[in-house]
Structure 1
Amino acid sequence: MSDIHLAGISKIYGKNGLRVLPLLAQGMSSREVLAATGCQVGLYDINLHIPAGEVFCMMGLSGSGKSTLVRHINRLIDPSCGSVHVGDLNVTALDAAGLREYRRRRVSMVFQHFGLLPHLTVQQNAEYALRVRGVPPPQQAEQAVYWLGEVGLGGYEQHYPDQLSGGMRQRVGLARALAADTDIVLMDEPFSALDPLIRQKLQQQVLDLQARLNKTIVFITHDIEEAMLMGSRIAMLNAGRLVQVGTPTELRHHPADDYVAEFMQSAR
């Protein structure tokens, strides 16, 4: 298992984006920076430790930077400055070959919009990470069939994604991530497009599987009730800045500001 350290992560979009960092350090808001320089602040000076073996939630309103931040962990997005470490591995320092190997073996991702390959069967989608890794075909099939069964899709192996409901497609994505057998699983608002009852079933399924597997799961959501259900701890982001990190109880009883308090008041 691996913990995750994000140190001084900033992501600035625009020409010569690093020039705005001193403005942000002086207290200028992201909106003021955009008006003055034309640069968009995605993230600013994020320092975060995610312990191994827990479900860690990142949440905030749309545009808060949560999806941008999680994509730094697998380097789908490179930071403007700062570093990402997974255990002793400096992910931000990896070359192209090292990054491919890291993605193949250490980290997997479940996307909001399924991310399935439509021309592949359910089983072939679940096998995909293992195929890329070079695992022999019999082992690919064995692992894919097992995890499809674990997520309730036994018997659907030869179906295609367009033959499945949204909830079933998301289960394929989950099975693919679990079949990859990585220490870290990134989940970017995986259930937000699903009906409430299906969402509740999949939330519980992830928690039940986590009780057995003890992965490091980084779970992105904009739903405070989902965050409180899923997360051992929650990181609250607002306009690209980290506002507060704590357990659900800590955030409920000791919100750092009105932004956090408003979220907590909306939770049942």
Structure 2
Amino acid sequence: MPSDTGFVPKGLAGPGAATLLETDMFRPVYRPMQGERWRLDVVPMCMAPGYWSGPRLVTDMAALLRVEDEGRSVRTWMSMTPMEIESQELGCRAAAGHTVVMGLGMGWAAANAALQPEVTAVTVVEFDPEVISMIGEIGVFGQLPEDARSKITIVRGDALAYVPDTSADTLLADIWLSINGPGRAGQVQSMRANTRAARVYFWGQEMVIAGRARALGLPLEPDDAGRASVERIIAELGLPLIGPELPDYPERVVLAAAQWLREA
């Protein structure tokens, strides 16, 4: 059940303006909540950019914030912006079999993975008990059909150390605050070794690919040379990544990098 109403006041959107975010991905209904170290806010409407698309109007945009400095500041940990949705969508749609999700966040990725008919079980690994409690109290997974809800198990643990009883068919990893950052490829390789996952999608993998290409001075444009650069870096990573099977994946990497790649 989507949280957005689809209603945009007259005058906010028109020819040439940003369009309303529309997706067939599951968007849970969230409600504001205040915890000791975490807070969940819901904004009635905002404008936000996509990962490889342009800006969209988002209604009932929810965000999970981490409270820091004894309550004097907050940092956005996750949000239901077009960027967050697009940057995890490929992995959620391609999930199959036993899917291990590293990082609960707002529960969005786990819920959408569980909705895939090819997924038989979803194991979510989350370190912070307050996040687990908050998502449980909001009832994110309770909004799913019973057959999807019954697939989900939440385990409190360290994503970099967790070893499941049975090998994972799919690994979806999102344990980072920023979509850019050093050391991510190595952390994912460690998680993949621990879970023995057959396929992997991790948040920001396009930034890792594009960042490595840039560091090597390889061309990164939406052309044959850019495609060759992306394919070379994917091969170097040595991970069975979800995404490269798509014909337009190199172009997606280039588009995302143009908007989101920052110097680490």
Q: Check whether TM > 0.5.
A: no
Larger Rg: 1
Compare the two structures and name the one with the higher helix fraction. 1
Q: Higher relative contact order by CA 8 Å / sep ≥ 6: 1 or 2?
A: 1
TM-score, with structure 2 as normaliser: 0.35
TM-score, with structure 1 as normaliser: 0.35
